[in-house]
């Protein structure tokens, strides 16, 4: 069931072109979504904030862009072929399928179906295992198939390239390898918009350390990553929390794991997991590939397999959290306005430029001229397809922090009215000051 707020966000995404259903004109595809212009830009801003923070501005992390399709042996070694399963149950009443670990447990064997909510608790069928990996035939002929797998996490591309990166960058531990890219899981629990998709994007760092440094690095990354959402993405502190995994909840490879959770309209849910994966991955890849993946430490003259701390974030879930956090309805002069109070430097457009009167040719021409100049320096949009009040509302709904209006006075005094999204304060500034004014405000905290 979607909450009222969630329904409004989904409809805003569609109405304004942030997100569309995948293969929509053919009836859609379950848990697959496409990003329209505004969605693609906002998503890029989120990825850029992450990449800039960790790859561009630090000396201990390098980037990677590894392939999506990988060999079967990779996932034999990683344990995904054997162990990447969800336990699923079917409701005999409405026939919907659910993940056992996400259901409200009433007692050991009996659950209440969250969908049809039958009057009496339903005795659910025996849970079945369901592998989440997507497999593809890479052979040119049907009769002699060989299979590749779409990676279920970007991490494995990092592990198999560990030695390549180490040898080509000449870096020492601690060394992080960062990657942003698509991952694929044949999820069966559907219907939570972009929270759970079959094709999604991750931002992952595998941070390789000496085994004795792993616990300290783990604590560092838990704090670092939760601060990132507040400082760089602008999520409200009160909507964030950390949740440490119980021992019986840990993945087979992890010694410890903490989730960064966000208070979505449907409740607290995972944005990111930070795990101490020990030396499990490198050790297993070394065993299966028969390649030496150990590290020689010049200082101690010791050879060891590094431990790895993994902060693994979802781009789409961060995007979703940004929208939920920013969405506001406010009453202005007796009318409701919807406004996305996104952190200004993440907004798809920093400024929108309008002529006050769309039928005054000289105003339209001047506004277009100003737009062309501003757009060459900062993300901007021009619009003259409605009355001014409506133009403001449109920009409020997509989170544009500033609107500039060109009016009759601009023709003589070379000044425009600039209005800010949140306080709706208006002031007049010189045409030649627009770019500087906006840049100063947008980059004030970065
Ligand atoms: P969940 O318990 O919600 O299924 P997970 O613990 O399986 O998540 P991880 O394997 O830790 O997720 O993946 C790291 C991150 O990748 C998650 O925190 C999330 O942001 C993102 N992610 C994982 N699966 C999906 C998905 N199906 N759709 C969108 N994002 C996802």
CATH of the domain at 180: 3.30.930.10
- 193 CA from centroid of ligand 1 (Å): 14
| Distances, alpha carbon 174 to alpha carbons 58, 62, 208, 216, 306, in Å | 12, 11, 6, 12, 9
> Are residues 292 and 353 located together in one domain of the fold?
no
> Are residues 138 and 234 located together in one domain of the fold?
yes
Which atom of ligand 1 approaches the CA of 275 most closely?
11
Domain coverage including residue 109? 85-131
Mean pLDDT over 341-360 rounds to: 97
> Are residues 100 and 166 located together in one domain of the fold?
no
How would you label 348-373 residue by residue, b for 16+ Cβ within 10 Å and e otherwise?
A: bbbbbbbbbbbebeebbebbeebbee
pTM of the model: 0.92
Residues with CB under 6 A from ligand 1: 153, 185, 187, 196-197, 200, 202, 270-273, 312-314, 316-317
Question: Where is pLDDT greater, at 191 or 328?
Answer: 328
The total of structural domains in the chain comes to 3
- The string of pLDDT tens digits covering residues 171-180 is 999 999 999 9
Domain-located, residue 340: no
Domain-located, residue 380: yes
Spell out where 302-397 has E strands. 302-304, 307-314, 327-332, 335-340, 351-355, 380-382
- 389 CA from centroid of ligand 1 (Å): 41
> Are residues 127 and 152 located together in one domain of the fold?
no
| Helix, coil or strand: residue 3 | coil
CATH of the domain at 370: 3.40.50.800
Question: Residue 46 corresponds to which tokens in the numbers above?
Answer: 């989120």
| CB neighbour class for 399 (10 Å; exposed up to 12, middle 13-18, buried from 19) | buried
> Are residues 139 and 237 located together in one domain of the fold?
yes
Domain-located, residue 334: no
The C-alpha atoms of residue 110 and residue 126 are separated, in whole angstroms, by 11
Amino acid 287: pLDDT: 97
**DSSP 8-class letter at 261:** E
- The string of pLDDT tens digits covering residues 43-54 is 999 999 999 999
> Are residues 214 and 301 located together in one domain of the fold?
yes
- 115 CA from centroid of ligand 1 (Å): 22
> Are residues 404 and 300 located together in one domain of the fold?
no
Residue 62 pLDDT exceeds 80 = yes
> Are residues 28 and 148 located together in one domain of the fold?
yes
> Are residues 232 and 353 located together in one domain of the fold?
no
> Are residues 120 and 224 located together in one domain of the fold?
no
Residue 18 pLDDT exceeds 60 = yes
- 24 CA from centroid of ligand 1 (Å): 24
- 314 CA from centroid of ligand 1 (Å): 6
Domain-located, residue 367: yes
Is the N-terminal amide bond of 174 cis, ω within 30° of 0?
yes
Domain-located, residue 288: yes
The residue whose C-alpha atom lies closest to atom 26 belonging to ligand 1 is 196
């Amino acid at each position: 069931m979607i909450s009222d707020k969630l329904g409004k966000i989904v409809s805003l995404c569609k109405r304004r072109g942030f997100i569309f259903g995948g293969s929509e004109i053919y009836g859609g595809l379950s848990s697959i979504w496409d990003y329209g212009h505004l969605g693609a830009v906002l998503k890029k801003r989120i990825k850029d904030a992450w990449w800039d923070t960790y790859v561009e501005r630090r000396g201990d992390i390098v980037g990677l862009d590894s392939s999506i399709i990988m060999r079967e042996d990779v996932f034999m070694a990683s344990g995904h072929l054997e162990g990447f399963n969800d336990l699923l149950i079917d409701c005999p009443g409405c026939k919907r399928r659910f993940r056992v670990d996400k259901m409200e447990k009433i007692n050991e064997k009996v659950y209440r179906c969250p969908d049809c909510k039958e009057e009496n608790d339903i005795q659910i069928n025996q849970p079945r295992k369901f592998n989440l990996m997507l497999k593809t035939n890479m052979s040119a002929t049907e009769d002699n198939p060989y299979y590749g797998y779409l990676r279920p996490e970007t991490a494995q591309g990092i592990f198999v390239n560990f030695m390549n990166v180490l040898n080509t960058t000449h870096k020492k531990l601690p060394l992080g390898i960062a990657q942003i890219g698509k991952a694929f899981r044949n999820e069966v629990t559907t219907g939570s918009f972009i929270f759970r998709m079959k094709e999604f994007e991750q931002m992952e760092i595998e941070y390789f350390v000496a085994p004795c440094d792993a616990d300290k690095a783990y604590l560092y990354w838990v704090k670092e990553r939760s601060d990132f959402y507040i400082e760089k993405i602008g999520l409200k502190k009160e909507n964030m929390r950390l949740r440490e995994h119980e021992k019986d909840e840990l993945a087979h490879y992890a010694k410890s794991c903490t989730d960064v959770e966000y208070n979505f309209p449907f409740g607290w849910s995972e944005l990111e997991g930070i795990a101490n994966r020990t030396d499990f991955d490198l050790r297993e890849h070394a065993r299966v590939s028969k390649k030496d993946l150990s590290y020689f430490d010049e200082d101690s003259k010791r050879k060891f397999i590094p431990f790895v701390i993994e902060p693994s974030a979802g781009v789409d879930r961060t995007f979703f959290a940004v929208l939920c956090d920013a969405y506001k309805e406010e009453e202005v002069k007796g009318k409701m306005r919807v406004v996305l109070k996104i952190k200004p430097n993440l907004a798809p457009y920093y400024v929108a430029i309008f002529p006050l009167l769309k039928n005054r040719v000289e105003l339209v021409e001047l506004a277009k001229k100003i737009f062309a100049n501003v757009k060459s320096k900062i993300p901007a949009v021009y619009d003259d397809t409605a009355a001014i009040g409506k133009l403001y509302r449109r920009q409020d709904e997509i989170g544009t922090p500033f609107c500039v209006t060109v009016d009759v006075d601009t023709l003589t005094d070379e000044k425009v009215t600039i209005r800010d999204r949140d306080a709706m304060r208006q002031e007049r500034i010189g045409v030649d000051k627009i770019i500087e004014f906006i840049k100063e405000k947008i980059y004030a905290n970065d």
